[in-house]
Structure 1
């Protein structure tokens, strides 16, 4: 493939975002057959399938790589025209962990959102997997626990999020009146963000020798509902300390084991060279993270 057909790639991107050929064709005011034909022409041009014909359609590995290229080209074009007027809005796909999104990230990039014609496309996942989105071309930047940059990329240390084990006072009185131990934890319901919440698993295994399957664990993939479950005396949990600052200060939550703090060291990843817009986003993220995250020494 000598030349990339970016117009057809944008159509491919639209099909994925609209989750189907029919909605994409309606958006473009053309027939579904015409959309399908243009995708087929692009696939013939590259000599490979770019889109799975599933419901909803998904990009193949090559399709996602080409879409990643499209995102970078859009950023370069956006910067070339210095388009602050809003005439050309560029999409910025970023993969991030839920705790960063719920706490410091949005305020960090507020100046960029105020000054630049950009559209955020946030992809939330566990910080152990967010880098995969960058590697697969699904994001132009990622906040990850991985300390090593991708091939052709760069990363900066942001700091560490401090996690503590908490519950409501009433829950603590019911389950931990004799202290937090392996025996009392086996009786107490806990809440995890998802089935891959490594922080809970590591904490309980390291300090209490408990395996994940031995606990009565609720799975609640919502930051707001996660906190609500603790406040209504239904569970205890590991959570980012800054996320519940007001609840701790008011006494609605208590730190069950103040001497035990778990840390997640976070890094900002992106490929080089950076476009002007992505560079501004990087600067905002790095500078604001230093004000919010614990600047503990980097561990190997």
Structure 2
């Protein structure tokens, strides 16, 4: 196979990121027809489809490999250009990271803030379940990820960060109303819970493990914000499974209470980054590992 034409890879990357041939064309200052022709040329070059033209537009396995390669090349280029052309205006480095919502709500912002303050970075945080963040590395959408999976993808390496401890909590008024005789199968069937969304199986796994109840046997609000769990629980409208790190003050103040002491859930988190990471990306990676290990239990 001949060398890649990176204009074709750029077209693929923009179509996937913007989810639109029209918007990708505008971004690259070419016609929509030209974008389609570039995708077609890329597919002819590699001998197979590189994306599936559905909604959403998704990359095929071959397309994912091409995207991952393209992102890595762009990272290396960004580090090299200032060395070769010091007088050229510096453009923000685009960095995409896949992170679970609970890490965002607790320790992750502290980890990336120093780099954002001291370097010109255009950050894209992709919020995904901790079991699925590696899919964003695999697809080329992200260059680093927080995950509960230890084994790294080919070309990446993983670093253990620490353990995130979750506990089942509610307000005292809620516990008095729904759990007057304690948390059990019968009381759980009548008490409203909160989960992140329908893909969030952490709550389901916890209840199944400790109380032998299936998700269909109780009801649960879907709220796509870890931060929103706390006011909802404090207002006494639901109970939830939440990182203890996120509610330390609420527990101390008695605004929330642990419903099942001794039945905490512990998830081990790992940071995954490219083996050849350097420059700003390396600094971000080092900060994430350092702060993650400082904040999370061991």
Same fold (TM over 0.5): yes
Q: Is the 8 A contact 2:67 2:139 kept in 1?
A: no
1:245 pairs with one of 238, 244, 248: 248
CA distance in 2, matches of 1:125, 1:8: 28
Alignment of 1:260-279 (within 5 A): 260-279=263-282
1:258 counterpart = 2:261:
yes
Would the alpha carbon gap of residues 196 and 39 (structure 1) be closer, same or farther in structure 2, given more than 3 Å must change?
closer
Map Cα deviations across residues 145-169 of structure 1 (whole Å, 9 max, x no partner): 1122223321111001110110112
Between 184-193 and 26-35, the greater mean CA deviation after superposition: 26-35
Would the alpha carbon gap of residues 143 and 36 (structure 1) be closer, same or farther in structure 2, given more than 3 Å must change?
same
Alignment of 1:160-239 (within 5 A): 160-239=163-242
Q: Is the 8 A contact 1:74 1:90 kept in 2?
A: no
The CA deviation at 1:25 is 2.2
Paired residue secondary structure (1:263): strand
Map Cα deviations across residues 247-276 of structure 1 (whole Å, 9 max, x no partner): 223332211122222111001112322233
Aligned residue for 2:48?
A: 48
- Unmatched tracts of structure 2, length 5 or more: none
Aligned residue for 1:108?
A: 111
Runs of at least 4 residues off by over 3 Å: 81-86
1:280 counterpart = 2:283:
yes
1:153 counterpart = 2:156:
yes
CA distance in 2, matches of 1:143, 1:180: 32
The CA deviation at 1:56 is 4.6
Paired residue secondary structure (2:166): strand
CA distance in 1, matches of 2:30, 2:229: 44
Aligned residue for 2:10?
A: 10
Q: Is the 8 A contact 2:14 2:24 kept in 1?
A: yes
Aligned residue for 2:66?
A: 66
Paired residue secondary structure (1:163): strand
Aligned residue for 1:130?
A: 133
The CA deviation at 1:216 is 1.5
1:30 counterpart = 2:33:
no
Paired residue secondary structure (1:36): helix
- Unmatched tracts of structure 1, length 5 or more: 296-300
CA distance in 1, matches of 2:159, 2:229: 30
